[in-house]
Amino acid sequence: MKRFPTYFLRFFILVLFALSLVFAVFAFPGMWQGSAQEFPGTFAVYAIRLIMVGLYATLPPFYWVLWNAFKFLNYIDKNQALSEGALKTLKNIKYGAGVIAVLYVGGMPLLLPIAEADDAPGILLFGAAIACMPIAVACLAAVLERVLGEK
């Protein structure tokens, strides 16, 4: 029962990996093709396709972050959460989440033509909320790295 939380987190990491892989293989190509049918003759088609390229670009750092989170859970199970290896995995998580955040924030202006074409300005708020998630993960990893590094 002592290791149940880490096993649950490992399961959650595997679910995130599987879902992102399913989206990358099945959903993203459909969105690529459907963008031309949804917004014919507008700049929104190109914006959606550039966003799709950005989403594919975030997959390697996302998988790297998931792998490092898995490794950090292994350190926790071995009671080595304060070790140098655990701090390195936290640093890797921080940098990976930072790369994802930069890609998401860089793609935010591409949401404007889509919001104009679809007359849905709320999409900008959803985009901002999604862009803030990796920033929060990077901040959490930085705080954990600092707290664990001081001990």
pTM of the model: 0.88
The rounded percent of the chain whose pLDDT value lies above 90 is 49
Q: Are the beta carbons of 88 and 25 closer than 8 angstroms?
A: no
Lowest mean pLDDT among 22-31, 75-84, 114-123: 114-123
Res 112: pLDDT: 86
33: number of Cβ within 10 Å: 10
User: Can you read off the two tokens belonging to residue 29?
Assistant: 């190509």
Q: Rounded to an integer, what distance in angstroms lies between the CA atom of residue 134 and that of residue 40? A: 32
- Is the confidence at residue 116, as pLDDT, over 90? no
Closest listed residue to residue 137, CA positions, set 103, 94, 104: 94
- Is the confidence at residue 151, as pLDDT, over 70? no
Collapsing DSSP states into helix, strand and coil, what is residue 81? Answer: coil
48-60 pLDDT, tens digit each? 889 899 999 999 9
- Is the confidence at residue 118, as pLDDT, over 80? no
Res 30: pLDDT: 86
Give CB contacts under 8 A, 24+ apart, made by 1-5.
Answer: 3/77
Tally of domains in the chain: 1
Closest listed residue to residue 48, CA positions, set 108, 116, 110: 110
- Is the confidence at residue 1, as pLDDT, over 60? no
78-110 pLDDT, tens digit each? 888 788 888 999 999 999 999 999 999 999 998
Instruction: Provide the residue range defining the domain that includes 106.
Output: 4-149
